[in-house]
Amino acid sequence: MAQRKHVQRVNDNHRGEQSLEHLRDRLREFAAARDWNQFHSPKNLAIALSVEAGELLEHFQWLSDQESLTLPDDKREKIKEELADVLLYLIRLADVLNVDLIKSADTKIEANAQQYPVDKSRGSAKKYTEL
């Protein structure tokens, strides 16, 4: 029983280490150790996020939709890195703005569900303003 409890705690820690909060804390330490907070204005972080999103998109440039689903391994690895870069700048930007990302995303899904009712939007790629 004691043993099982220990295992449970280790697993919890492990999950904790891989959470958004843990990444946020590591990015805080990363910036502080390098004296980078002077560069991390929301404006600059929004630029960085947009630049990374462009680098991510570059990997899909010229591919057909089908090709974008069946990527060679080396390309897939680079895409994983770009996805990570986007997430890291997103977490950092939310942090300096004191925004709870998960909560905001939760609220946004609710709003999207209102704007795109199932019956009106099924099978349609139209924007809600055109539904």
User: Which of 6, 128 has the CB closer to a second copy?
Assistant: 128
Q: How far is the CB of 10 from a second copy (least distance, A)?
A: 17
CA–CA distance from 115 to each of 2, 57, 101, 110, 120 (Å)?
Answer: 51, 27, 21, 9, 10
User: Which of 13, 107 has the CB closer to a second copy?
Assistant: 107
User: Which of 6, 80 has the CB closer to a second copy?
Assistant: 80
DSSP 8-state class, residue 1:
-
Alpha-carbon span 116 to 125, nearest angstrom: 10
Q: How far is the CB of 52 from a second copy (least distance, A)?
A: 8
Q: How far is the CB of 3 from a second copy (least distance, A)?
A: 20
